[in-house]
Structure 1
Amino acid sequence: MTSMFLRSGLGRQMVRAKLPLKPLLRPARRFQHNGPDMEDYLLPGQKSAQNILKGFIAANAVMFLAWQFSTTHTKGESPDLLKTKNNMTRELNDKFVFRSGDIAHGKYYGVLLSHFSHVSIMHFGFNMMAFWSLGNGIIMSLPLMTGPKFLTLCLGSALGSSVATYANKQSRGISNGSLGASGLVSGIAAAIALRAPFAKMQFMFIPVGIPAWVLTGGFFAYSAYSVAAYDPRNPPLLDHAGHLGGAVFGALYYIMSLRRGRTPGVWR
């Protein structure tokens, strides 16, 4: 593999008042290379997948701007504008944050929509850079990747993340909401680690590349430990169960479907 495997993404954020996200991982720029861009050699299906990737990022950007508009207040705002912002904030909290108690009340919006939702600029920025980097990596590395397959990987990882989040919170009575795309990013990271386990990824502040299987394996092992060692007196900022749920779907989908696309017509 050449010039396309990048650092993995951030944690799915647990929503707690006035506690900013402290990112664990950050994405990297593509390695520099001479000659035509890899995009010049994409097949039609891969180009369709990349368009979906761009669409996901655009949707996340729109929702991030919506959060910023609704939660940012300036001196001298008119009562009508303030009312509009307050109503918008309530709608965003209602539909774009996932809480386990929502299911019992028949509110299913957040199961998927929470993965398009970021409040913090750091959370949004790093998640989207990781999503772009890793998404392009899996698209470019699989000749038979298509738009529907990439969409299935993304939405399936998001659903897997929400299912794991729901199960963990219900079993422990956790009421915090979750938002952010990192459950989805975790699914893509898991697929990348299986597709090219020795591709170099980089951990924050460490200037050397680390094999994908080591970095992602270590991160998911840490997530599993954090779920097992949960302490209600000191709840984590990160939704570790969501990471694991997204990763499980991404790994299974790669093994059961995407792996066929390594070389057309060949399973290996």
Structure 2
Amino acid sequence: MITLAIIAVTVLVSWQAFGNPRLLERLILWPPAISGAKQYDRLITHGFIHADWQHLLFNMITLFFFGRFAEQLITQMIGPVGFALFYLSAIVVAIMPTYLRHKGDRNYRSLGASGAVSAVLFAFILVKPWSLIFVFFLPVPAILYGVFFVGYSFWMDRSGGGRTNHSAHLSGAIYGVLFVLMLNPAIGSHFLRELLSPSFG
């Protein structure tokens, strides 16, 4: 239910921001507004707005398919509020390297839930590395997708390619793994056992 609530709020806020430039400008991650005007809420609000419907739908569809499992996993360990805290903290943690890098850049802006969604996705991969996920309608083992995702994001972040915030993707993925391992270190052993016993499905 928390996953569905997050999706509903994100869709509603993004939809409102699509037609309201003033709202978009107030919620977007703009580093000078945080460091200068102390608008720290932007570290979270940027995760509830998106550039367009395609951007929004991609993130929310991914969250729908993997968030429900991550929510169940984390709820079993720290209760239902735990997943909400995980998701909101992932938004902040994923964007922090970007914010620190562009702290004085008045021309930089970032938006979208991609960092938090990456955290959710990699929490799933940690527990079910050989599950098949569909990438452009092709079934791919989750662990292979994860390796490609990290490598591609790292390369694109280093090369400065595109308008996508690849740094947030990387930070979110790392945070998702570390968060789950901190709650239950035994999942690390489970992950290694799973890697050594491929079972597609």
TMscore range, shorter length: 0.7 to 0.9
Aligned to 2:31: 100
TM-score of the two chains, using structure 2 as the length reference: 0.82
- 1:155 corresponds to which of 56, 64, 88: 88
- 1:193 corresponds to which of 116, 125, 129: 125
Shift in alpha-carbon separation, 1:226–1:168, aligned structure 2, 3 A: farther
Kept after mapping to 2: 8 A contact 1:200/1:209? yes
**Mapping for residues 64-75 of structure 1, pairs under 5 Å:** 64-70=14-20
Aligned to 2:69: 137
Structure 2 unaligned segments of length 5 or more: list them: 189-201
Q: Give, in whole Å, the separation in 2 of the partners of 1:242 and 1:100.
A: 15
- 2:141 corresponds to which of 211, 222, 231: 211
Q: Give, in whole Å, the separation in 2 of the partners of 1:261 and 1:61.
A: 32
Kept after mapping to 2: 8 A contact 1:101/1:175? no
Q: Give, in whole Å, the separation in 2 of the partners of 1:261 and 1:225.
A: 28
Q: Give, in whole Å, the separation in 2 of the partners of 1:218 and 1:208.
A: 15
| Aligned-residue offset at 1:103 | 2.4
Which structure is higher in RCO with an 8 Å CA cutoff and minimum separation 6?
Answer: 1
Aligned to 1:3: none
Report SS of the residue matched to 1:144.
helix
- What is the total number of aligned residue pairs between the two structures? 187
| Aligned-residue offset at 1:69 | 3.4
Identical-pair percentage:
23
- 1:246 corresponds to which of 167, 172, 175: 172
* Structure whose alpha-carbon radius of gyration is higher: 1
TM-score of the two chains, using structure 1 as the length reference: 0.63
Q: Give, in whole Å, the separation in 2 of the partners of 1:203 and 1:91.
A: 33
**Mapping for residues 1-20 of structure 1, pairs under 5 Å:** none
Shift in alpha-carbon separation, 1:67–1:142, aligned structure 2, 3 A: closer
2:97 is aligned with what amino acid? A
2:145 is aligned with what amino acid? L
| Aligned-residue offset at 1:138 | 2.1
Report SS of the residue matched to 1:213.
helix
